[in-house]
Chain A
């Protein structure tokens, strides 16, 4: 059976790095749960093949094996998946706005840094906003930090404008 924190115990969040992946994974769990008691499905393997993608199926398979769930024991699997769903709801989201589309390597780099410095139960929500020009805007746990070039330039323009206006007086 899943422990207090199966996300950490089985390092599921090692596979899930972004909010999109988290949503896909949650959707996958929902699909498996709805397929569990369909008359045509005979065992767990069949359900996983039919309802979810390969990466999600691999994670769930690993989870089933490590929790020693029998391939016909649907109720234990249902309980496990429901607990997993609840734990996924507690995962925090670190939102980053960048001016570019980050490469996979860059996302992994950021993700590794976040895991090491901020904790493991965090996923990234990266969006592209060209108007920030460069740098990043980060929101996490209700905190908001604007490290963008747009803001720096804005402040420079504001100061210079004040200087010019003073000079003009």
Chain B
């Protein structure tokens, strides 16, 4: 970028700082300035035109340095752009495209893209047809997602949302997809932990982390999801399936509220500005399944929203629910009951995920949901104890087994074909289960066998192609014991 004098001589327009309100700076002059144009201050810093009024313009700045009234400002005739390219993979960058990691220099990619672009139109879009594998049993089996789906991850603090997201990123990165993680106004320590987790698991080179810290300027924090989306769009245009995680948009809404109030916008519900829905919806619309020059490619967007006291009816949460294709609700009460992940299947929604499923997967999903419903109703009979009849006792025991089956440790990722076969084995009582810990043991054994034994993997993958659930149960009743025997002989101890 050029310096202040060069821009001044080029555009021949000048403005002066009149008033400073934290990240919003009021500037007079600059008669032909356009909204979203980049302006440069005499001190060398850049800002982005937030709004244009007849007497002054509002500039959103991306720095915390103090600017004095009277400082000269000039136009650049450019919009805010960030560098995009493969060079960003494996790096932690700030929303302006600079590396946060000071130890390794970042080779700046030659291509730059505007951060605030319009979402692609209907002609460039395609229906969601491919299942998105999270590696999380309850999601892939009961609330399936599709590539290009926008799913809200909603729940209270400390209910395992980040753990679910890291697991999903891990699975997607291992499958060769690009993952972009946007940490919006997070603590630096948390960002470092996330980076270290992915580096340790060897998937950082498939990822870009766009991070802004809580100590950064509000302008920078506000920009974070837009930069992450722009980077995702680059990889999408390269024909890649991209997973974008926006962690989290409820914080983003709070920072946007701060900017709007400083900009003297009229406050609406909970003091949020009236365009908060538009701001987020425009961003979410940039995700989806697309037709590109390099084939079909998708941006699957997992958006996080934090609730307070499990209240799903909050303003931002309901806004986000209505602009996404469903939500996974992380229930605090289930978390306290020891469920990991603490996803409540009854309060979670997937609007496009089911259309991506094969007949078998749909059968399994339907079976699980109807059984979980039954199990939930049967729970009210538990207090009858010994008076319960055998059917109810059996239902409760199976329910407990399934709940335990869905429990996963943070780093554990289960491939989807194995999920189906393992669930069917459990359902058909093929596993020898003396107590619930046996379920984890059996699952770990078969998971280990699946990832290291080609023969077993091929067998399981073939079985997962069976047409229906009933047929699969029938097949597994004959072939299942052999697989279980082979697995326990090899990986039993």
Interface residues of A (CB under 8 A from B): 139, 141-146, 151
Contacts and interface: CB of A to CB of B under 8 A. Distances in A.
A143 B9 contact: no
Given A141-B31, A143-B13, 19 more contacts: A139-B29, A141-B29, A142-B14, A142-B15, A142-B29, A142-B30, A142-B31, A143-B12, A143-B14, A143-B31, A144-B8, A144-B12, A144-B13, A144-B14, A144-B74, A145-B12, A146-B8, A146-B9, A151-B9
A151 B115 CA distance: 34
Contacts of A145: 12
A142 B74 CA distance: 9
A142 B30 CA distance: 5
Contacts of A143: 12-14, 31
Contacts of A146: 8-9, 12
Among the interface residues A139, A142, A146, which one has the most CB atoms of the partner chain B within 10 A? A142
7 contacts: A141-B31, A142-B15, A143-B12, A144-B8, A144-B11, A144-B14, A151-B9
Contacts, number: 26
Nearest to B32: A142
Contacts of B8: 144, 146
Contacts of A151: 9
A162 to B, nearest CB: 16
A36 B14 CA distance: 40
Interface residues of B, number: 12
B9 A142 contact: no
B211 to A, nearest CB: 37
Nearest to B15: A142
B364 to A, nearest CB: 66
A151 B31 CA distance: 23
Contacts of B28: 142
Contacts of A142: 13-15, 28-31
Contacts of B9: 146, 151
Nearest to A151: B9
B73 to A, nearest CB: 10
Contacts of B12: 143-146
Contacts of A144: 8, 11-14, 74
Among the interface residues A144, A146, A151, which one has the most CB atoms of the partner chain B within 10 A? A144
B267 to A, nearest CB: 29
Contacts of B29: 139, 141-142
Nearest to A155: B9
A50 to B, nearest CB: 31
B311 to A, nearest CB: 49
Interface string B1-20: 00000001101111100000
A88 to B, nearest CB: 16
Interface string B430-465: 000000000000000000000000000000000000
Interface string B120-131: 000000000000
A96 to B, nearest CB: 13
A67 to B, nearest CB: 29
Nearest to B29: A142
Interface in B187-228: none
Contacts of B31: 141-143
